Structure 1
Amino acid sequence: MEPLLALRPADDILGYQPQPQLERHNALRRRDGEYLTKELPKINRKDEAWIRELVKPPSLENLKPQLTTEQWQVPDPSRHLTCISSHQSLPLIAVGSGGHEKNLFIYEMTVSLGGSQFYHRQTVSLPHIYSLSWAPPGRFNSNTVIASGHRNGVVHLVSLPDSANPFPARVLKRFNHADPLRASVSPISRISHLEFTSAGWTCVPDSSLVTLYGESLYLWDVTRNDRPMMSQRVATISGFHASPFRDGILALNGAFGIALLDVRTKARGLLRPKIANHSESTAVKWSPYNSNWVASAHEDSKIRIWDIRAAQPFAELYGHSDIINTVSWYLYMDLVHF
């Protein structure tokens, strides 16, 4: 096993501070056995039935959904929350802050007959966090490894102890994007987005890490941190999502609208639809059910759903009156959405 990076004495503990249960404010409890659901808005197109057939499972007819909500106040001293990430298999939620210390909050959610409870698990100090992503379960010796992106162009790979473990959090790796030999970026640039690749990406080592620093994309092998496997500048890019099914394919969003990037090719040119792709895209998300579908949010307050085999979206969702910052696919859910 590769040795851990040495830490300065002041960094060794990383601000591990257990706290009591987080305070709940005006919470509405979900009754046990009920599911939280919300159907997609109606699509003003002839092919409406196509998408509705996909997103509405047959079992939904037998459910009696009731929307409720719960909210908690995160005790961030800087009042500068920047990101949130939920674990793929454990009931863990990480909340990051742009503050200097005590700014990575780990919470655990439990569901019982009395309703759902949100417990504070630990707080870690990692200055100026702007993006978070949990590592896929089974990739490391621990199932609680998380990647954090920072303002200074550094990504930390952090191992968090379980609730019964008295040991502090540990930095396993540091990935430095601000190396002067790499792409030139503004000194105030930050790691605005990062995520691990899925098992469907066979062109790279298992659970590689894709990061966005300034206007440059990086692809890292997490077993080494000296240099990225790939780096490419994409002007005016603001986000991306790695396809969970298609090997080496990224969906990008930015002032150019949306585009696809194949990291397996040497040229790595962008593939862009030419129809209905003229406004800035603020978010993009691959469908978890169909490898050809991508949803994108745009500055014109519309959500467009694309089939990448066609040159235009097959559906547009209306109803928002302001800029949409995030977009997500789901069938139904039985946990609170934040």
Structure 2
Amino acid sequence: MSVITVLAAAVYWLQSPMGFKPSYLNASPSVQVLDLAIEPGTSPKGVAQAIADAGADVSPELLRFWFRISGQDRAIKAGSYEITPEMSPRVVLNMLARGEETLRTVTLVEGWTFKQFKQALAKSDNLKLTTQGMSDAEIMAQLGRPNLHPEGRFYPDTYTYAKGSTDLAVMQRALKAMDRHLTKVWNQRKSNLPLTHPDELLTLASIVEKETGRASDRPLISAVFHNRLKMGMRLQTDPTVIYGLGDAFDGNLRRVDLRTDTPYNTYTRGGLPPTPIAMPGKAALLAAIDPAPSNALYFVAKGDGTSHFSQSLNEHNNAVNKYQRGLSKQGQ
């Protein structure tokens, strides 16, 4: 066989799809993707063998030879990858050298509690669950924040992660993201606000987040709470009471619940609750430090997602009669 023939065959091989071994297809005919995990420190020879072991119909020796002559064998990066049937050895090597890992996403929603965040992580695809069985205190200690209550400390956003990443790693990113946003917003605050610490901003923002039915109402809802805090008037907000009830809340908030004292019952206690009650988003954080210019002290849900705001108790009672008659209590 001439050199030209050999080179032509090599070029053809490099561009040809790698395909799958029959054993792989027989095991799961519907699967059209091979999972490839490259651990840190794996040699080029080990990478070639891992590709074959994953189910690609390719000679490890030939693949290793291609890695070496390409000059990219030492550029291969550890990570989690997917190989599809149409990929050629050249495409696979370029993917490994660029570190183009297979990514998944998990979304943390505004207003979620830490419990809901953990539930979302537990359902996420190809995420290693390392915190299962840990208490919230143990998780926060693992994150480097011992003795810090986890509620509200994680920024709601969509996070990407490589296959095989841990839930703790995603938590760490969300934790640091909230740190950044909270610091930025706190530095934008006005001097006349009744807030003395970023933690108070976070707590108030979490209440604004839970009380908001329509985004445009956030600044006015924030104004109501700011006005009450300045007057020393109790916040009297249902979401804090519900949070304080925990698993005992069955979806129906009763008058007896409003009278039952807990650290989070803002009907029985003055000021802000001891911690946030949910994870506020950027809009709620901004509303909490930039309330609308209003003297309103009350608001009630109108039933269409918006709220009616009142300056006096008499006006508020009339609004309650108008919008809430025959309905369960939803607002102030």
Instruction: Give the structure-1-normalised TM-score.
Output: 0.25
Higher radius of gyration, 1 or 2: 2
Instruction: Give the structure-2-normalised TM-score.
Output: 0.25
Q: Which one has a larger percent strand, Structure 1 or Structure 2?
A: 1
Q: Which one has a larger percent helix, Structure 1 or Structure 2?
A: 2
